[in-house]
Amino acid sequence: MNKQFNLDSLVRRNVAELAPYSSARDEFKSDGTEMIFLDANENPFRSDLNRYPDPQQQELKAVLASQKGISSKEILLGNGSDEVLDLIFRAFCEPATDNIISLPPTYGMYSVLAKINNIEERQVLLDEDFQPKVNDILDAVDKNTKLIFLCSPNNPSGNSFREKEVKAILEGFTGLVIIDEAYIDFSEKQSWLSDMRVYSNLIVTQTLSKAYGLAGIRLGICYASEAIISLLNKIKPPYNINVLTQNTALEALKNNHNLRKDVKVILEQRRLLAKELQHIGYVEKIFASDANFLLVKVDHATKRYKELLEKGIVARDRSSQPLCEGCLRFTIGTESENKKLIEALKEMDS
């Protein structure tokens, strides 16, 4: 499919040559036999959390792998997607030399991580419908372009990218394409995970922070080929997913009927909120959303944002983002929270 894709030429030299740190728990893995653990300088008392977590999170990955129909070796877990994204930068982008492409308006972390890692960020704006401009993107690529970030459904616009454009980027770019699917559980569109074995340059990221309602535990998921995952594994902090997070995530994944229930309610609330917003005089446009938020164009975004604050409601003012002039972003709350939002917006409409 992607003839010129060559992982060995993308990875940073120092990472390719790196012998990863080998932790106590890497060197001896329990097979379930009762053992006396005197290898990791742990305190032997208070036995719920006294042991280091499984550095490879095997139980958690096994559940994810079976739910997604892939292998555990195609999964890397991070302390939030933010850690996953940072590992991708550090594995592939040579500071002060390489560059990445992002498609504003989009998630702010790609920029922040590029700056932290001293990587040039080339921004190619989305089109008027918030879809990627494939030709402009491929024109921006040079020999040092390592990564292209696609966020779909996109934050803050809420829409998903069309299949045709995404495929054209996957096929036309010989570096890595990261599709950030933080909001995929709210979307009726299929995850790009099912195409992971078709495109060897595809990385899909997901998170338990949004639909799963577990932003507090910090669990981000990276799906990619075994070859990509093993590179990222070399540079991840050994015990990056703590015991409490692994246990909570396991429970949540096993009981994912809660997820479907929550998503159904949130989508119904999104529909109601969109309907109510149409009756507000200063609302100029409500953008279609595949996520748990609505981007809404109003007459004076910053003024409306401040009026809402005075009424005790915190929205997100996105009006300084390109293509988001006059726009506020509303996360879908509970039924009563959304009612209060509507009441407040109506009071301001006079």
Summarize as ranges the residues that interact with ligand PLP (CB under 6 A).
80-82, 107, 151, 155, 180, 182, 207, 209-210, 215, 220
> What SS3 class is residue 21?
coil
Interatomic CA distance for residues 105 and 154, integer angstroms: 8
Beta carbon of residue 150, minimum distance to ligand PLP (angstroms, whole number): 10
Q: Which is nearer to ligand PLP, 80 or 132 (CB)?
A: 80
Q: Which is nearer to ligand PLP, 85 or 228 (CB)?
A: 85
Beta carbon of residue 104, minimum distance to ligand PLP (angstroms, whole number): 12
Q: Give 30: exposed, middle or buried? Use CB within 10 Å, 0-12, 13-18, 19+.
A: exposed
Q: Which is nearer to ligand PLP, 283 or 295 (CB)?
A: 295
| Closest of 114, 73, 104, 103 to residue 177, by C-alpha | 103
Q: Which is nearer to ligand PLP, 55 or 158 (CB)?
A: 158
Beta carbon of residue 79, minimum distance to ligand PLP (angstroms, whole number): 8
Instruction: Name the pairing type of β-strands 316-317 and 327-331.
Output: antiparallel
Beta carbon of residue 289, minimum distance to ligand PLP (angstroms, whole number): 13
Amino acid at the residue 338? N
Q: Which is nearer to ligand PLP, 52 or 107 (CB)?
A: 107
Ramachandran quadrant class, 207 (left: phi over 0; alpha: psi -120 to 50; beta: rest): beta
C-beta nearest to ligand PLP: residue: 80
Q: Which is nearer to ligand PLP, 209 or 319 (CB)?
A: 209
Beta carbon of residue 232, minimum distance to ligand PLP (angstroms, whole number): 15
Beta carbon of residue 20, minimum distance to ligand PLP (angstroms, whole number): 23
Q: Reduce the secondary structure of 108-158 to three states and give it as a string.
A: CHHHHHHHHCCCEEEECCCCCCCCCCHHHHHHHCCCCEEEEEEECCCCCCC
